[in-house]
Amino acid sequence: MEKKNGKGLIILVAIICCVICLVGGYSLGKGIFTNKEETNNNEANKNSDNKVNTEEEVELTDVYIKKDISKKASILLSVGFTDEDKDIITIGYGADQFLNYSDKYKMAIVLHYNYYNTSNFRKMYYSDVNELDEKLKQSLLEYGNGNIDEFLREDYGIRIAEADKIRNSYEDIFGEKTPTITDEVAIVCPWFNYDSKSDTYISNSNCGDAPNTNYIYYKHKYTTKLDNAYVYVNVASMDRDDNVYKGLEQNTNNYLYKIKSTFSLEQEVKTNYEKYAKYRLVFEKDSNGIYHYKSTEKLD
C-alpha cells in the first residue's frame, strides 16, 4: 500500500512540474514577444519622429554653416563688392537679375568679389603681358601708348588673376561648373576679359553707368530643411528723388513714402522689415556637406 501511495505521489509531483513549466514557458514567450513588439513600435515611432523633424523647416543653429551662407548671400546681394557677414546690404545694382541670375551675371559677381575682396587679382609683370593673346595684349598696351614699359610703370588699375582661382570661387558659391564667357564681363567698375591663351582674367579700368536706385537688403532669418538652407531677406528700394518702395519694382503699387534728409532708410528697413518685400535665398547641400546658392524665391 505504501509502495502504491509513493508511486502516486511521484506521478502527482511530475504533473505539477509539467504544469509549472508550461505556465512559465507561456509567460516567458509572451514577455519576449511583447518586448519585441514594444521595441519594434518604439523604433517605428522613433523613425516617424525623425522623418517629421527632417521634413520641417527649422532654425539653422550650426554657426559655421550659418556664417558660410551669410557670406555667400552678402556676395550675391552686393554683386561681389563685399563678403562681410552683416545684416544690411545697400547697393545700386543687381535688382534686374535678383530672381534669375544669368551665367554671365554670376561670372561678373564672382569676378567683382575676387577683385575687391581677395588677393587673387594682382599687378601685371612682363611675363604676364607677353603670354597674353596678341589682340588683348595690344588693347592693353594702348593704356601705355603702345609701350610695355610705360604700361607697367603706370598704375592703370589693370590686374590679372589665374582662371583656376576664379573657377574655385565660382564653384564654391554656385556649386556648378564655371561657364566660359569669352566676351567682356561687367556690372560696374572694373570690366573683365578672359584670355584663353594664358588662361587668365584681366581687369581694365572701364566703368558702367552710375545707378539711379539704391536697394536695401535686410538679412534676418536663417533656416534649414532636409538638404536646403534658407536666408530670408526683406527688400526696399529708393529712387533718385528719395521715394521709397517696398521691393525691387518701383511702381505705384509698391510706393510707400518719401524720405527726409535726416532719415535712415537702413535703420527703418531693419526695424520694420515686415512691411517690405520678402524673399529667400535657397542654398543646397552637396555630398561633401557644403552649401551652394541655387535660387531666389519671392514670398509675397
**What is the pTM (predicted TM-score) of this model?**
0.78
CA atoms within 13 A on the CB side of 217: 27
Low-confidence ranges of the chain (pLDDT < 70): 1-54, 206, 208-209, 262
Sequence ranges of the domains in the chain: 1-46, 98-204, 212-298
Neighbour count for residue 8 (Cβ, 10 Å): 10
b (16+ CB within 10 A) / e for 272-298: ebeebbbbbbbbebeeeeebbbeebee
* pLDDT for the residue 163: 95
* pLDDT for the residue 252: 92
* pLDDT for the residue 226: 94
* pLDDT for the residue 154: 78
